[in-house]
């Protein structure tokens, strides 16, 4: 993890502790948290992961997604519910932010 990623993660944690936006994680915080979690889990640089990155490209399976989601839920203090199949990082982000595709 490079210095910018560490700084960004610390800012996310600080905002979580300080109440964030109305006590909830913002969409941008959720997006960055999910991307950082996939980055760590699959040893892929953050700048190589975006909303169009497929789980297949990362080598992820459904158990990996559950682990990433659990990590993000715990770190950001949110609950993520899924309503459709997960094929991309963007699907995880959108559903975590309450946006159905």
Q: How confident is the model at residue 19 (pLDDT cuts 50, 70, 90)?
A: very low
Within a domain: residue 11? Answer: yes
CATH code for the domain in which residue 73 is found? 1.10.1200.10
Query: Is residue 8's pLDDT more than 70?
Result: no
Give pLDDT, residue 61. Answer: 86
Structural domains counted in the chain: 1
**Tens of pLDDT, residues 47-98:** 999 999 999 999 998 888 888 888 888 887 878 887 778 889 998 888 888 7
Within a domain: residue 101? Answer: no
Within a domain: residue 85? Answer: yes
Within a domain: residue 38? Answer: yes
Within a domain: residue 73? Answer: yes
Give pLDDT, residue 52. Answer: 96
Q: Could you tell me the residue range of the domain that residue 9 belongs to? A: 3-96
18 contact partners, CB below 8 Å, separation of at least 6: none
E strands, 1-101, are none
Within a domain: residue 66? Answer: yes
| Residue among 38, 36, 14 nearest 25 (CA) | 14
* Distance from C-alpha of 93 to C-alpha of 4, rounded to nearest angstrom: 21
């Amino acid at each position: 993890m490079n210095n910018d990623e560490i700084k960004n993660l610390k800012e996310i944690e600080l905002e979580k502790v300080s109440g964030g936006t109305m006590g909830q994680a913002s969409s941008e915080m959720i997006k960055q948290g999910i991307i950082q979690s996939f980055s760590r889990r699959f040893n892929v640089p953050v700048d190589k992961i975006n909303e169009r990155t497929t789980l297949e490209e990362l080598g992820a399976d459904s158990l990996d997604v559950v682990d990433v989601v659990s990590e993000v839920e715990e770190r950001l203090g949110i609950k993520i519910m899924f309503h459709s199949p997960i094929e991309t990082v963007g699907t995880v982000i959108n559903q975590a932010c309450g946006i159905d595709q």
